[in-house]
Structure formats: C-alpha cells, structure tokens
Amino acid sequence: MSDDPPLLRLLGTISLSGAVLRPGRVVTLLARLAVADGRVVPTDRLIAELWPDDAPDSAQASLHVYVSRLRRQLAGTPFEVETRGHGYVLLGPQHQIDVTRFVQVSTEARTHADAQEWTAALEAARSAEELWTGEPFGGAVLGDDLRAVQTRLGSRLSDARETRAAALIELGHGGDAEKLIEELLTEDRLNERRWRLRMRAQHAAGTTALALASFDEFRRLLAEELGVDPDPLTRRLHQRLLQSSSDDVPTASAPGIEIISRRAELSAIDYAIRSAAAGAGRVVLLSGEPGIGKTVLIEHAVAAADGRGVTAVVARGVQGPGTPPLWMWEEVLGALGSGDGAGELQAIIDRLPGGAAGSDEGRFRLAQAICARVVEHARRRPVVLVFDDLQWADESTVLTTLALASGIARRACTLVLASRSGLAPDGVIARRLADIARLPHTNAFDLDPFGRAEVGAMLPAGTSPVVVQQLLDWTGGNPYFLRQMIAAGPRTVVPSSAIELLRSWMADLDDDTRGALQLMAVGGRRCATALLADAAEVVPARVPELLDAARERGLVHGDGREWSFTHDLAREAVLAELGDERRAALHGRLADAMARRDPEGTGDLEQYANHRYEAAAGMPSRDAYRASVAAADHARAAHAYPRAATHRERALEMLEVSAGTRPERFATLLALAEERRLDGDVLRAAEALGRAIELAELLDDRELLVRAVTMYGGVTFWNWRQFDEHDAGTIALLERLVSELPPEEWRARAELLGTLAVERYYGDERLRGVGEAERAAELARQVGDPVLRGRVLNNLFIANWFPGRDAIRLAALDESLALAGHGLPPLTEAVARMHRVSLRLRHADIAGYEDDLDRLARLVPRLLREELDSQLATQVTGRAILRGEFRLARELAADAADRFARTTLWGAEWVRLIHAYSLERMDGDPGALADPLVEAAAAPEHTPLRWTAVLALAQAGRPDEARERQSRWNIRRLPGVTHWGSELEWAQAAETALLLGSPRLDEVYARLRPLAGQLIDVGSGLAVWGTMDALLARLADALGENALAAEHRDADAALTDHVGDALGAAPGWVRTTVSQ
C-alpha cells in the first residue's frame, strides 16, 4: 500500500487533492459513491441520501445536475463517475481513498493483536489513527447510509485505539497506555473492556493498588448507573491482581490494619508524591464519614512527603461562619512564606489591579495569584498540600483549590484533599469537588467501612467470631469507633451511639476541665492556648493542666501554641450537652477575650463576629451588629459573596427595628441585595432590595431612594423580573422620581430613565420605555462616562428586545463594545458580547459569532459570576449543536442546566427542556419529550414552552392531544403580544400549523416573511433549528405558492452553504432526520 497521502479524504472535512470541498449535496454524492468500494449505488439510494428528510419532485433531475458538477470537480484526478444501469459508480484507485486505507490497516492491527504480534499491531494501530483527522464526512449531508458508515468507522477507530493501548501494555509501556485509556474512558465511561485495559495498564506501570482501586470505582459506577456487577472477565482479572499484590504495600507509615486495608488509597498517595517530586503533580481526593480513616491517610501523606524531601503543608477547615474566607490558603501561604499567612494573603490582595474588593474579576485574579505563589515555591522544592475537612471550606477556598488542581499536572505539586461524604449535591463545595474528581490526573476514593476481616485483624488472635460480629454491628465498621471500643475494653452495656460513647468518657472529668473543653468546642475544632486561657480566666501555663485528663482519653491534643479535638465527633459530643444559655455565654466569653487581645479589631473578623452574634442569642446587640458588618465587608472584599450575605443578614437581625435604625438597615439591605445578586440569587436579592426601597421612602430621602431603585437597571443579561412580571408600584415610583429630579442631574436622570425602560418591558407601555431608554442613552453620551454609557446602552438593548428591532439592538451593542478598553467595565463588556452572540448567529455572521464566543470564553471565567457562567454555558452548548457535535452538546447541556439551577434566574427549566428538545430534533425524535414539555408548560411561569409542547405532541403523532392543548392554552392563533422569544414562537407555530392546520397558514407566513434570510435562533444562541427560508418554503408549498416556495428553497440552500463554508462542515440542522 502506498505511503503517499490519500488523494480523497473523507475522515474529517472532505477534501480532494489537498483542497477542501464546499459543503453540500455534491460532496455528499462523492462521499456516498466513495464508500461503496467500487460498487454501483442505485439512483433511489442516492436520492434518499441527498434528501434524507423528504425528496422533492425534482430530485431525479437535480441528481443529474449534481453528478455533472461532481464530474467537473473530478476532472484531472484519477477518479471518475460512470453511469451503470439505474445507478452510478466511482471508478479509480481505491487505495487513494483514506477510508479504504483506514479499514485495511485497522483490520491488520486487530489481526496482529490476535496473533500477539504486538510491535506490528502497535504500528498498524498508529497508522489507522493517523489517517483519522476528524469526524467522517465533514461537509456532507448525512443520510441513513453515511450515518451507518460513520458509526462503523467510529467503532473501528475505537478498536484501533484499544489495540494500541493493549500493545503498549504488552510492550512494557503501561504509563503511556494509561494516558490513552483515560482519554478513551472520557468518551465512554461504561465501556467495560476499557476499564480492564486501565487495570492492566496500571498493573504494568507498577501501581497494582491503583488497578484494584479502578475495579472498585468501576463496580460502584455499574451499580449506580445500571444496577449490575462487572462481567466474569473483569472479576477474574481483579482476582489475578489481588493475588499479585501481596507485596505491593507502601511502607512510609507504621504498619497496621488501617494502613494495610487502604492499599489502593495509600498507593495513590505514594504515586502522587513521587509524581510531584518528578515535576508532574496529581490530586488524591478522599471522602468518607467521620472516623472512617481519612486522618490516617493524611498522616501517611505527610510522612511519605517528608521521606522524599517534599515540603508538606497541612491545612484544616473549620466549621462555622466565623472562619475567614481563604482561611486554609492563609495556612498554606504562611507555611510556604514568612509564617504570617494573613499578611501574605493581604499583600497579594493589595497588589491586585484596583484591589480585590473593587474589581469584577477580583476573585479570579486572587485565585491565580495564590496559585502562582504555590507554583513559585514548587519550582524551588516540590510541595504536597494536604487539605482536611474541606466540607467546612468557603467557596473562594474551593475555587482556588480547583484552579490549582486544574493546572497541577505539569507542576511539582500534589494535592491530597479530604472531605466528609454526604455533602448536598447541589452545594458549591460538592460541585467543585466533583469538578476536581473529573480531572484526568485525580484519583478519587470514597472510603468504605471495615468489614469482618479488618475488624478481626484489629483484635487479638483467636478472638471469637461472635465478638468480631458484635463490634462490627456496634460500630458499623467505622475505624475510629472500633479503636475506641476496643480501647474501652469489655462492656456489658453498649452506648446507643458514638456520641454517647464519647460523652461517657467525659462523665468523670472535673468541672474546670469540662469548662475548658466547652470553650474549645464553641471556639471551633482548634483553639489558641492564649485565647483559651484568657476566656477561661487562667494563665496560659494552666491550660495543659486543665486539658491533661481529656488528652489522656484521646479527646484532644496540643502543641503548646494551640489545642484541638482529635476528631469532629469529640467536639460534637461536647456541644451536644450544652444548653442554649450556656452556649451563648461561652461565645460571649470568647468574644470578650478576642476583643481584649485585639482592641484594634484587625484580627479574625469573621470568627469574632460569629461569637458576638451567637452570644446575642437572637436579641438586638450593637456589638454584634458592628462585628457582623465588618465581617461581611471582609468577606465581600475576598469575593466570598454567600458568606458576606450571611453576615449581612445577621447584622440585620442584630439591629433593633426602630425609626432610629432606618439608615443603618437601609445600608445593610442594599449591600445584601448586591451580594445576593452577585451570587446569582435574584429572588432573594429582589426581596432585600424591595425592603431597602421601603425604608428609603420612610426616610423620605430622595438620594437614597434613587440609589436603591436604580439597582433594577444595573448591568445584567436580563432584568430582575420573572417572565411576564412587571411591578406597577416600582414604575410609579420611578416616574415620580424622574419628575422631581432637578434638570441639571443628568447622571441620575439617565439611570432612572434606563431603569424605567427595562421595568416597562412586560407592561402595556413598552414603547414608551423605548423612548425613555433612548433619552437615557443620549444623556449618558453627554455625560461622557463609559461606565454610565455602557449601563444605559444595556437598558436600551433590553427595552428593544422584541421583533423588528434587531438593527437598533445591534447598534446599541456595537456602541457599547467600542468602549471596551476605554473604561467599559469587564462585566458590561461580557453582557454586551453575550447579547451580540445571539444577533450575529441569527443573521448568519458566523465569523463574528465565533469571535464573540471565543472572547467570552476568556472573559467570563475571570468575573466569577454564576449568572454569566450559566448563560455562557448555554451558548457554548448552542455552538456544539450548530456544529453537529451532538454527543458533546448533550454533555454541555447537562452542565448548563446544572449551572442555571445554581441561580434563581428565570429560565433554568426552559433552558434545560429547550436544549433537550433541540437535541431530540437533531436525532430525529422530537416527540420524545412531549410529556415533560406539556407538564412544564402548564405552569404560568413557563408560558414560553407552550408552543414547544404543542409542537412536540403533534410530532409525536398525538394530534388530538395537541389540539386540546392549543384550545386550553388559547394558542390556536398567533399571539398578539410580542417579547424576546416571539420569533421562535412564530416558527413553532408555523410547524404546528403544517401538522395541525392551525394557526392559519397565510397568517403565519405573513408573520415570518420579514424574517427571511435569517436562522431560527433558539433563545439567545441556545441552538439553531435551520433557516427561516426552509420553513417559509414549506408554508408556501402548503399554500400552493410554488414560485415563492422555489425562491425560499434557493435562499435556504444559499444560506446553508454560507454557514457550512464558515463552519468548515455541514451545520448541525442539515443532519437532522426530523420528518418535515
């Protein structure tokens, strides 16, 4: 076989003699003839391939035209198309077609592997992969035949890659094989053959314990996803690995059952530390219930790092809102630097552009700066960061951890992370840890309780099996409880819980010791000796004496500077015996001690605020109010918005409700509204803002009132309202403020008018709002402030978000984005680009669309705003659908739905269902989602889903139900009121009319006719369903307007070709098999 590059390439974008061919039906014809391997393809098969939806009456004539065009393209090449009987055949050298070569060498790879000729198998498999440059038939219309061939070729590629992995294993390159297999598993997580390859590769690389861990991971995955066990081949491989692993026990820690029984986890930790020393870091993620053994593994990690000359830093999370943001990173920075972690962190914040508190991208820059400090240390000496109790960490800490974990693979740094299991799956910590677990260089372990074998090994030889089973029943196999129960000796009465067991050990402690333990428990898992002494009113030297009895019982330990509980359960046992009054008093003593030790109030602001708040026990307290405000400001400066909002709400609780506190309550509520909105919680932000406006009115302070009410007009992707919601009271207030405003206050007038415009959007006076937005924009231009101008241009865009206003909206966006780099805030730029993405897509400006999306991909992560993250995720999903990358689109759609669900923005369910329906359309089964669409659309807030639900019912072959829903929802005619989604509603109404006969076809055609030449853009770039002209052609056909239909079909073909040329492949909607 020739080593020259093939002349005709079909594996990827179709090309001939090195030139990419224009997407469309001619290239489809070439592809279909080329894969026939020199056989005749009947005319009817070619027609079915070229028009997979519904062939026109002129198909036969059009086919002759396409054959003629193809013959002209093939002139000068060794290929030619010949007519034979009722079909056509492609003649020429088959070895010059990449598909033919690919099939041949992939078959050779499999044959050599079967014969265990591994070097030859490896060479053939690599040759097959080199021929594959992308998804086959890029630029072609995929009918049934090409789809089937595409599927078969994809299976051959997978087989070739698996063959290469197997050859690498057999030739002693287990590490290389493991990297390849990780890529394969990201494509098909439930492929059992690939999991066996992974286990073999890990064993070949000398990490048998990791191979055993892979078996456990796969077994859990199968149980969760399919409810089945691994097949016999996988189980037999597992047994062989177990037999070979008897000598593969890490030795960095002292031997013991808790070490030996965690073979896989220890091996992963040792491997990660060795990797860090070699400059290629990894992540080990441990989760499990309290007492399951995470601490033992952490101690092993520290010992193993010390043994290899690797710097080990341990940081532990502390429960409670009093813990400062980035507390664990303060510990790291202190250990790697001067010892003053708080000072190191503040120095980083001070060096950020504009300060961390004032920048939209502050959190991102802060995380990157912290990571850079760690990486800088790792260049001098490898480092292992050990984070325990991550479940107590704040969002900024976990975001920074994720940032470091994501880029750690090429750094001399390893992370060992430990967290409790059972975290709320929709919580920020669980989501970020899941992100870390999905990284290719992460080994994640969910630690299981001990079984009979491990319990028996902890007991003296010859212990009765009955005793072993009793201990297992009493403790649930929890190693911590087991140790304590065994240490306590024989019992006739067993405590009903671990807490009761621990409390029984404390029963005979004297009052002074119990008091010190109670102060420690209220203060957190750890407490400085000096603070504890001050709060207990003793000298520091007395503290060890007070706690000695508790230390002997294994409840606490200390090093002179601080004391800590040996386990969270010990602390919880102490807290469980405290009444509310006693607990509040202890918090007060700790707060007073902190105030005495730090009279300037520059220390641990959040911990101090927490003690003051708890000491108040629900009663108004000026000290608690001031402490909570300071803590909220501190958290906000670190962009820990949820924590800031928590302290802000506490500050409100601590203020007495009276006329005298109205100014303070107003300021607190306004800050709370900002922090809730920054966190994506629109509903609770609006509630706080409404209360602030009420207070401003009671204060009769116009300046405060303007400041509060204009928050509704701040820069956002959408306004604060839910679908079809408007507030007459807010509109009346805005009108009154505009009328009372002195003429010279241009800035305030611009803000008020812009806000009034967006507030009118869902009301009867939308056009009046458009005029107000235009006046606001003109005022902003005269003021000359780019921040104000960007804000009111965003208002102008939203006010004009209805049909027929695309040119006005695009002009507003272009004007705003012209200010980028000239004072326009990054947030305003991101929102403007998101809006322009949709408009450029609708008008088929693919280059501009791609450019804005690429810029957003770089800009949005720096802003760390859930609202923008979720919107960008929907648009990235839309791009995958446009490109026909449907498997990727499904994954992205799930991520987008998850991100939207983290906010209280309107539209999370709409986005999820529209993405799902769009993908079912592309797969040819749009009716599959009829029932969930109908269920969701029944809710008033999901009115925009009603046309989709009716259409899906009709497409599912349920016309009677569809008509019944039309009548019930009063959508047998086109809606008179328009909004942001009207063009999509009209397109769905047109498809519905073609299937059900209502609305009237002529009315629908007239409504859609001005949109000719556009794409059917779903939402704001969520998906594209095709061209408006294709839909108009079908309507014209149904109306008997054949000439109009032909014009629209030509326009559809031209626009589709234009988009295909811009994408370099046929757009996704061309591949759909939806029945038209």
Yes or no: say if 857 and 835 are a contact pair by the CB < 8 Å rule: no
Q: Does residue 91 register a pLDDT over 90?
A: yes
For 410, the enclosing helix (H) or strand (E) is none
For residue 252, pLDDT beyond 50: no
* Residue 179 pLDDT level (bands cut at 50, 70, 90): confident
Q: Omega into 382 within 30° of 0, i.e. cis?
A: no
Q: Are 758 and 769 in contact (CB under 8 A)?
A: yes
More confident residue, 862 or 562: 562
pLDDT score for 465: 85
Amino acid at 422: G
Provide the pLDDT for residue 358. 44
Mean pLDDT for 970-999 is 92
Sheet holding 556-558, edge to edge: 526-528, 562-565, 556-558
The pLDDT tens digits of the residues spanning 599-619 come to: 887 778 889 999 999 999 999
Q: What is the mean pLDDT of residues 987-1015?
A: 95
Name the band, by pLDDT with cuts 50, 70 and 90, for residue 1075.
very low
Site of tokens 């408009």: 839
Whether the per-residue pLDDT at 263 is higher than 80: the answer is no
Task: Give the pLDDT confidence score for residue 254 in this predicted structure.
Answer: 36
d(CA 1004, CA 983): 11
Answer yes or no: are the C-beta atoms of 838 and 878 closer than 8 Å: no
Per-position DSSP letters for 230-270, written without gaps between them: PPHHHHHHHHHHHHHTTT----SSPP-HHHHTTHHHHHHHH
pLDDT given for residue 178 in this prediction: 85
Among 455-464, 497-506, 890-899, which stretch is predicted with the lowest mean pLDDT?
497-506
Residue whose structure tokens are 């397109």: 987
pLDDT at 228: 75
Give the CA diameter of the chain.
106
**CATH classification code of 505-578:** 1.10.10.10
What pLDDT does residue 1074 have? 35
The three-class DSSP label of residue 289 is coil
How far apart CA 846 and CA 842 sit, in angstroms, is 9
Lowest mean pLDDT across 159-173, 761-775, 860-874: 860-874
State the pLDDT at residue 353.
65
Q: How confident is the model at residue 246 (pLDDT cuts 50, 70, 90)?
A: very low
Residue 804 has pLDDT above 90, yes or no: yes
- How far is residue 484 from each of residues 297, 488, 733, measured CA to CA in Å? 18, 6, 67
Comparison of pLDDT for 975 and 841, the residue scoring more: 841
**For residue 248, is pLDDT > 50?**
no
d(CA 198, CA 162): 10
Distance CA 749, CA 706 (A): 9
Residue 923 clears pLDDT 90, i.e. is over it: no
Instruction: Look at residue 242 in the predicted model and tell me its pLDDT.
Output: 63
List the single range of 313-327, 503-517, 768-782, 842-856 with lowest mean pLDDT: 313-327
- Span 479-498, average pLDDT: 63
**Interval 1056-1062 mean pLDDT:** 91
pLDDT beyond 50 at 940: yes
State the DSSP string of 1060-1074.
HHHHTS--GGGG---
How far is the C-alpha of 141 from the C-alpha of 1065, rounded, in Å?
10
pLDDT digits (tens, 9 = 90+) for 122-162: 999 999 999 998 889 988 888 888 988 998 898 889 889 99
Q: Which of 165, 139, 162, 163 is nearest to 150 (CA)?
A: 139
Task: Identify the band that residue 249 occupies on the pLDDT scale cut at 50, 70 and 90.
Answer: very low
DSSP state of 1000: -
Confidence (pLDDT) at 1073: 35
Q: Cα separation of 328 and 345, whole Å?
A: 11
| 966 Cβ neighbours under 8 A, 6+ residues apart | 950, 972, 992, 996, 998
Lookup: tokens for 834: 């998101």
Task: Give the pLDDT score at 1064.
Answer: 84
Q: Looking up tokens 């430990």, which residue turns up?
A: 418
- Token pair 């690919």 in the structure block, residue: 102
| Whether residue 461 has pLDDT greater than 90 | no
| Exposure string over 178-200, b if 16+ CB within 10 A, otherwise e | bebbeebbeeeeebebbbbbbbb
* pTM for the full predicted model: 0.63
The band of 797, judged by pLDDT with boundaries at 50, 70 and 90, is very high
| Per-residue pLDDT at 490 | 58
pLDDT tens, residue by residue, 413-445? 999 999 988 777 667 788 888 888 888 788 888
Confidence of residue 355 (pLDDT cuts 50, 70, 90): very low
Indicate the pLDDT class of residue 904, thresholds 50, 70 and 90. Answer: low
Q: What is the CATH number of domain 591-695?
A: 1.25.40
Question: What residue spans of 38-188 are helical by DSSP H?
Answer: 43-50, 59-74, 98-114, 118-131, 144-170, 174-187
Tell me what pLDDT residue 489 has.
Answer: 64
CA atoms within 13 A on the CB side of 1024: 32
Question: What element of type H or E holds 772?
Answer: helix 766-783
Amino acid at 250: P
And the tokens for 565? 């509980």
Which CATH superfamily is 263-347+360-447 part of?
Answer: P-loop containing nucleotide triphosphate hydrolases (3.40.50.300)
**Is 1048 or 464 the better-scoring residue by pLDDT?**
1048
pLDDT at 260 over 70: no
Q: 3-state SS of 774-813?
A: HHHHHHHHHHCCHHHHHHHHHHHHHHCCCCCCHHHHHHHH
**DSSP for 11-73, written as a single string:** SSB-EETTEEPPSSHHHHHHHHHHTTTT--EEHHHHHHHH-SS---TTHHHHHHHHHHHHHHH
pLDDT at 638: 78
* Pick from 52-61, 520-529, 746-755: least confident: 52-61
Domain 1-171: which topology? Arc Repressor Mutant, subunit A (1.10.10)
pLDDT at residue 5 above 90? no
Q: How far is CA 722 from the centre of its chain?
A: 24
DSSP state letters, 607-627: HHHHHHHHHHTTS--HHHHHH
DSSP alpha helices (H): ranges in 263-361?
Answer: 263-277, 294-307, 327-336, 341-351
Our CA angle for 78, 83, 85, nearest 5°, is: 145
Reply yes or no on domain 865-1071 having CATH 1.25.40: yes
Q: Which of 297, 289, 301, 285 is nearest to 481 (CA)?
A: 289
Angle between helical axes of 362-380 and 327-336 (0-180°, round to 10) = 30
Torsional sign, CA 8, 13, 15, 19: negative
Strand 526-528 versus strand 311-316 pairing type: unpaired
DSSP conformational letter for 568: H
Mean pLDDT of 691-705: 93
Q: How far apart are alpha carbons 30 and 1033 in whole angstroms?
A: 27
Query: How far from each other are the two terminal CA atoms of the chain, in whole angstroms?
Result: 45
Measured CA to CA, the distance from residue 250 to residue 78 in angstroms comes to 64
Share the mean pLDDT of the chain. 87
Residue 138 DSSP label: B
List the structure tokens of 137: 């038939």
Residue 250 has what pLDDT?
Answer: 38
